[in-house]
Amino acid sequence: MSMISTSYSLRRRMLVRSALLLLIVFVLLSIGAWHYAKQAANYSYDRLLRSASLSMLEGVHVTGANVDIDIPYASFEMMQLSSEDKVFYRVQGPQGNFITGYENFPLPNQSLGKERTLFYDANYLSEHIRVVMQRKWLSEPEVSGWVSVYLGQTLNARDQMRNDILVRSLATLLGIMLLVLFVLWWSINRALEPLSTISKSLFTQTSFSETPLDKTSIQEVAPLVDAINEYQTRLASNLDGMKTFIADASHQIRTVQSATQAQLDIASQSQDLSQLPAHLGRIREEHLRLTRLTNQLLSHAMVVHRGDTRIVEDVNMESLVKQLLTECVRDYAHTEIEFSYHCDGRIGSVQGDWIALKEAFRNLLENSLVYGPAKNQIDVSLTQEAGHVNVIIDDQGPGIPQTQREQAVQRFKRLTTRKEGSGLGLAIVSSVVESHEGRFFLEDSPLGGLRARVQLRVGES
C-alpha cells in the first residue's frame, strides 16, 4: 500500500480552485465589460456628433455660384452637452474648396465613394479626436456636387462615460463573484459535512466496536458508509475467528506440553531402567506432535495472511506439483512409501499465490504420509477439463468415512478413527482453496484409501 507523504485539505483545495476559476471568469467578463463600455460611449457620442453635423448641413445654401453656410445655434448647443471637450469643424464645397472652420482639419485617408456618413479617429492640435464626416448633395443650375461637413470632438467626455460604465460593471461583477464564492464556501462545507459526521462516529466507537454507522440518504456518501460497515463486519468476523483460533491453539499446545511433562515426570520417577526407552519413545512422540502442531499453526497463520493480502500471479501447476513431489520423494527416500505422478496433457496456469498453493498441497501429501500405512502408495495426478485444473492425491490409508468428511476440514477437529494429529492440515487446504475460489473434495480412492481433489479455475491468458 502506498503512503501519502503530504496531507492536504479537501475543503481548501476546492475553495482555491473555485476561486481561481472565478478569477478567470472575472478577468474574461472584465475584458468584455471594457469593450462594452467603450462601444456604449462611442455609440452615444457618435450619435451626438452625427446629429450636430446634420444640423450644420441644414444651414448650407447656394447664392449664385457660391456655397454659403449659416451654422445653426442648435449645433453648438448639442455639443455643449459635453462641456469638457473641444469641438473642431471644417466645411468644404463641391470641388473640395474650403468654406469655413479650421482649414488644416485632418481629412480621412480612405476614399468616400457614395457614403454620406463616415466616422474616424484622428489627431489634431495635440488632441485625440473623434470625427464625423457628413455630406449633402447639391443640385443647382450653377453648383452641383457634395458639400461636406467635418465635425470633430475630443475624447474626454466619452472616456469619462466609458470609465463610469466600466467601474459600475466591475463593481457589480465583483459583488456577484464574492456572493458566488460565499455560496460555494457554504455549499462545500455542507457537502463535506457527512464526512465530518462519519469521522465523529468512528472516533466515538471503541477499538472493537461492532456497531455499524448510521445509513445516509446521500447517494455519493452511501457507498462509503456501506464500505466502512462491510469492513467493520469483516474485521469483527476475523477478530472472532482469531480469538477462537488462539483459544484452540493454546488448548492444543497446553495439552501436548502437559502430556510431555507427564511422560518426563514418569520417566524421572521410574525405578525400572528397562522401562526408560519406552518412556523416551513416548516423549519423542509427544515432541514430534508438538513440532508438527507448531509448524501447522505457523502454516495456517501464513496462508490466512496471504489470503487476506490477495497475492495474484501466474502459477504453473505442473512445475509446482513436480517441485513439491520431488521434495517429498527426497525426504521419504528411506521409507517404503512409493510415489507416482501422472499429468493428463498440457495443464494451464492458475491465477493465485504460489506459496499458499504449495503449502496446501504439501499438507495434503503430509496428511497421506502421516495417516497412511508404513508401506503406502501415493499417486498424484493432474487433469484439466471445462476450464478447471484438478489436482488429485490418492493414498492407501484408512480414509475418512463419508459422514465425517465435513468435520475433517474444520480446525482442530480430529477424527476418532485416526492417529493423533493437530487437526489443521485439511483446514489449511480448505482455507487456501476457498481464497482461490476453488473447490475441495474428499472422496474414496481407487487405491482403497482417501482421494483428495482440488479444483481450481484456469487463469485467463
Neighbours of 23 (CB within 10 A): 12
Mean pLDDT computed over 250-257: 71
Res 418 pLDDT > 50? no
Q: For the chain, which domains are there?
A: 14-163 (3.30.450), 210-309 (1.10.287.130), 311-461 (3.30.565.10)
Can you give the pLDDT at residue 258?
80
**Local confidence band at 270 (pLDDT 50, 70, 90 cut-offs):** confident
Mean pLDDT computed over 360-366: 88
Residue-wise pLDDT for 331-350, tens only, equals 888 888 999 999 887 888 88
Strand partners, 149: 91, 134
**Local confidence band at 135 (pLDDT 50, 70, 90 cut-offs):** very high
Inter-axis angle of helices 222-269 and 156-204, to 10 degrees? Answer: 30
Res 35 pLDDT > 90? yes
Residue-wise pLDDT for 165-188, tens only, equals 999 999 999 999 999 999 999 998
Can you give the pLDDT at residue 1?
46
Can you give the pLDDT at residue 79?
66
Res 422 pLDDT > 60? no
**Local confidence band at 242 (pLDDT 50, 70, 90 cut-offs):** confident
Grid cell of 278 as nine digits: 519406552
Res 419 pLDDT > 70? no
Can you give the pLDDT at residue 437?
87
For residues 201 and 454, the model is more confident at: 454
**8 A C-beta contact, residue 439 and residue 455:** yes
Mean pLDDT computed over 18-37: 94
Res 252 pLDDT > 60? yes
Res 208 pLDDT > 70? no
